[in-house]
Structure 1
């Protein structure tokens, strides 16, 4: 699935993300983005195995946490960086909309992955993505992304089973042009 940029996605949970452009650099492409987050909204604890991610707060106050560390805050004009392989989360800690410029390097499959996750959440109407879409995305792209709040047994056993059942039931036609996952991660899941 190719997306032309800029590309905007919205989650019913209160986040709008605009993938603005790609900046080509000698050591890899950088995806430039912008987000708008409603108060108390933001993604759960997650890991980008193969990407660094950064934000500069334009308006509002961001709270963020690296797994195992205390919550920290950044205000307008301040920047934060999450290194690849480090579990983290962030949310709007203010009472107004949080507005940030951001980047991810390298770009990899993030536009597809987040577009699909948001669509699956919007389809379910909950924080958890629709079951089959969620199983497809979490299992197939386990080499690139991890959701820390999903118990290991669910990620390693339940999700792959649901993924395979979804394949048997032909639930993934809308993913037929999905990009191949990048396979340079510490832990790979064979999804056949």
Structure 2
């Protein structure tokens, strides 16, 4: 996948994400981001198994939560870091647009994955991405990302069936050339 930076994506629920650049570092490529989130919007509880993420508030107030912990808040100039393998969510907890700068390291396939999720949300016209695209992304990139609020039965049975049905119906032609999912190395634990 060839991407020119900066690369901007927007979804229909008030989120705009600009991938500013990719910096090559010893521990993997770091993608530098800037996001804008409408009041009340933000990603649901999710986990990236192989990446750390940091956000610094430029304008507004961010609400965030680590799974199983109480909600927390940060204001302008404060930084929130989400470690790999730790389910979390964040949202705009203010009345104005939330603006943050940040990074994701290592970048892996996150630019493709988030671009495809935003496109699937725009296709459905709501926060829940279009069903077949969501099934493709959550199945193909299961070693990298997970949406932990989806009930286990849906994740383990319904989504794989939907993915296979989508393959049979030819729903995934627009994903040709998608980056290969990362597989964990023998020494790396994945905590599904």
The normalised TM-score by structure 1 is 0.95
Deviations 1:19-66 (A, max 9, x none): 000111112111000000010100000000000000000010000000
Question: SS at 1:35's partner residue?
Answer: strand
Find the aligned partners of 1:70 and 1:158 in 2 and give their Cα distance: 30
Does the Cα contact within 8 Å between 1:47 and 1:86 map onto a contact in 2? Answer: yes
Q: Write the distance in 2 (CA, Å) between the matches of 1:139 and 1:28.
A: 24
**Secondary structure in 2 matching 1:17:** strand
Partner of 1:14: 14
SS in 2 for 1:159: helix
Structure 2 match to 1:177: 177
After TM superposition, give the deviation of residue 187 of structure 1 in Å: 6.0
What are the equivalent positions in structure 2 for 1:32-181 lying under 5 Å apart?
32-181=32-181
* Contact 1:19-1:31 within 8 A present in 2 as well: yes
What CA distance in whole angstroms lies between the structure 2 residues aligned with 1:81 and 1:20?
19
The ranges of structure 1 where at least 4 consecutive aligned residues each deviate by more than 2 angstroms after the TM superposition are: none
8 A Cα contact 1:143 1:187, kept in partner: no
Q: Give the TM-score, by structure 2 length.
A: 0.95
Q: Aligned equivalents of 1:106 and 1:73: distance in 2?
A: 25
Task: Give the 3-state SS of the residue equivalent to 1:167 in structure 2.
Answer: helix
Contact 2:85–2:191 (CA<8 Å) still a contact in 1? no
Tell me if structure 2 keeps the 8 A contact 1:11–1:118: yes
Secondary structure of the corresponding residue to residue 89 of structure 1: strand
CA distance in 2, matches of 1:9, 1:73: 25
What is the match of residue 27 of structure 2?
27
State how far apart, in whole Å, the 2-side matches of 1:183 and 1:4 are. 26
SS at structure 2 position matched to 1:160: helix
Q: Which residue of 1 aligns with 2:190?
A: 186
Q: Unpaired segments of 5 or more residues in structure 2?
A: none
Q: CA deviation at 1:2?
A: 2.3
- Where 2:31 maps in the other structure, the secondary structure is strand
Aligned residues: 188
